[in-house]
Structures are given as structure tokens and as C-alpha cells.
Amino acid sequence: MPSFLAAVSALRAAAEPTRLRLLALLARAELTVGEICEVIGQSQPRVSRHLKLLCDAGLLDRFREQLWVYYRAPASGEARDTVWQLLALVDEEDDVLRRDRRRMEEVIAERGRRAADHLAEEESLEKASDIVDATVLEELASEPIGALLDVGTGSGHMLQLLGAKATRAVGVDISSDALRLARTKVHSAGLSHCELQRGDMYDLPFAAPLFDTVVAERVLAGAERPLVALAEITRTLKHGGRAVIIEDFDSLSSASSANPISILREWFAKAGLEVSRVRPVDTEAGHLLVAIGRRVARSTAAA
């Protein structure tokens, strides 16, 4: 049985229509703030204030699951008993509570549909990644990778794919969050010789051409200055070194009225890269292009 002060705190927290509705909902399901707002039709700041009062009184638990914060009634102990004792004072067939429960079931069902869609999308992207990976490995198999640079490394996927075959491997990204993720993944893959640096693709942090292979996966089509970025890639390549550019066909198509393959060929020429091959790759997630170019004797890069 709760102490006198705990009972007073619980009664004070619950003695408000919205907060009593929240207790009735969260005794039956775990919901995020956004989902609660959808159910009861109130603004997020207002709902958040009510949730804080209930949490402070010990009537709700708050927990994080990845990026989401969920709320629920306590599952055990005196706090659970208190919540159910309070709810026993209310007719559960009340029109407001019945409407809340019905709306809650709709919101939870929609959550399930989104989760299923996300899982299907993840599976599709994973299959697409496998196809692209196989294509990149096939295109690079004819000679050693040597020193490798991954521009816009993101999660470090290309480092994981090619790092073990490289004499040196460096990943560059402007995002500190991406670099933290990449470090974790590279470490888990046992690639201790891989380096990760914060850097801008428009001004890569290398004074000399140090790399035999430079990879950039889906970074140019969305760039404000793709030619500058590609010129920087060329600058970091040793003479005769290879650039591997992976781009989304539709993204390139939306950026220009020209054919995406022609766009890549034009960019390569302006950046001082001689096109070896542009290979279309069709996946469930979309149409991609894998372009291979070599640094020619003299760069004609354009800003």
C-alpha cells in the first residue's frame, strides 16, 4: 500500500480529465507522445506536460527504444496497483474511454503497417546493396585496390566491402554522427587499418595524390557542386588510379534533361577522368550506375 504522501501525489496527478484518459490508455498499451497525440487529439506540448506530471507521481514509466520514447503504466509493484485502483473508479465503457481505445487500436495498427513497410524496404535495400557490391568487386578485381579513399563514407559500407583488400583505407565524411557509426562498424569488422576523418568533399583533407582507388557512393547527384567534388576526387588519385562512382539513375535524370550515362561521362571528362566503363545495375530498390574512370596525365577539372 502506498504511503500517505505517495497516495496524495498519485491522486493529485490523476485528478484531471486528460491525465485520467492517459492512464486508461497506457495501462493497456505502450505509446509514443506522437501516437498519444493522435489518439486524444491534443497538441504535443500539452500532452508532454501531462505525461511528465504522471511520471513524476510514479504512475507512468518512460523508456527509450532506439530513436523512440515510449510511455506505459507500471507493470508491477505498488505503482501498478495504484493505477488500477484509480481506473476501477471509472466506468471503462464510458464513451470517451471507448472512443480513445478504438482510436488507439487504429494507431497501433498503423504502426504495425509502417513497421512492415520499413522492414520490406530494408530487405529491398539490402538486396540492392548485395548486387551493387558484387558489381563493384567484379569491376575492381583486375588489379590491386592499393590505397583506398571512400568519399562520403556514411556508415562505412564501402570500407567494409573493400578495406580488407586495401593496403590503406580512409573514409571521409562531413557528418560526425556518420563517422561515429562508421567507426563502430569498421571496428566490428576487424578492419584496424581503416582510418576515418571528418572532411568536406569539396575540399578533401589531402595535399597530394595519395590513393590508388577512390570510391564515392551516391554523393554526387545530390551535391550542390558535383564537378568540384569530382575534381577533388581526381586530385587525390595517383596518376592511373581508379575512381568508382555509384549513382542513382533517377536522381541523375531529375538533375538534368540529359541521359544519366551521358551526364557521368561529361563529368568525368571535365574532372580529368578517362571513362573505363559505365555499368547499369538494376535492383528492386531502383536503377543504379556504377562508373569506373582513371586519372589521366593532366586534370582539366572545372569548378
The pLDDT assigned to 110 comes to 83
The pLDDT assigned to 187 comes to 85
What burial class does residue 242 get, using C-beta atoms within 10 Å of its C-beta: 0-12 exposed, 13-18 middle, 19+ buried?
Answer: buried
One CATH from 1.20.1080.10, 1.20.20.10, 1.10.10.10, 3.40.50.150 for 4-116: 1.10.10.10
Tell me the CA end-to-end span of the chain in Å, nearest whole number: 74
Cα(27)–Cα(9) distance, integer angstroms: 18
Q: List the grid coordinates of 116.
A: 512492415
Q: List the grid coordinates of 182.
A: 562508421
What's the full length of the chain, in residues? 303
Specify the amino acid at residue 157: H
Residues of the chain with pLDDT under 50: 122, 299-303
The residues facing 71 across adjacent strands are 31, 62
What burial class does residue 161 get, using C-beta atoms within 10 Å of its C-beta: 0-12 exposed, 13-18 middle, 19+ buried?
Answer: buried
Q: Is 202 helix (H, G, I), strand (E, B) or coil?
A: coil
The pLDDT assigned to 224 comes to 86
Cα(303)–Cα(296) distance, integer angstroms: 18
Q: Is residue 229 within 8 Å of residue 273, measured between CB atoms?
A: no
Q: What residue ranges of the chain are covered by domains with CATH 1.10.10.10?
A: 4-116
Using a pLDDT cut of 90, give the percent of the chain over it. 52
φ/ψ (deg, to 5) at 2: -65, 155
44: part of which helix (H) or strand (E)?
A: helix 44-56
Q: Is residue 17 within 8 Å of residue 46, measured between CB atoms?
A: no
The pLDDT assigned to 300 comes to 43
CA Rg value for the chain: 28
Nearest CA-CA partner of 287 in 112, 115, 132:
132
Q: Is the model's pTM score more than 0.75? A: no
Cα(244)–Cα(213) distance, integer angstroms: 7
The pLDDT assigned to 299 comes to 45
The hierarchical CATH code for the domain 143-295 is: 3.40.50.150
Q: What residue ranges of the chain are covered by domains with CATH 3.40.50.150?
A: 143-295
Q: Give the model confidence (pLDDT) of 221-254 as tens digits.
A: 888 899 999 999 999 999 999 999 999 888 887 7
The pLDDT assigned to 117 comes to 62
Q: Across the chain, what does the average pLDDT equal? A: 87
Q: Is residue 70 within 8 Å of residue 30, measured between CB atoms?
A: yes
Q: Is 280 helix (H, G, I), strand (E, B) or coil?
A: strand
What burial class does residue 141 get, using C-beta atoms within 10 Å of its C-beta: 0-12 exposed, 13-18 middle, 19+ buried?
Answer: exposed
Which runs of E-coded beta strand occur in the chain?
A: 31-32, 61-65, 68-72, 146-151, 166-173, 194-198, 211-217, 237-248, 273-283, 286-295
The pLDDT assigned to 129 comes to 78
Q: List the grid coordinates of 136.
A: 563493384
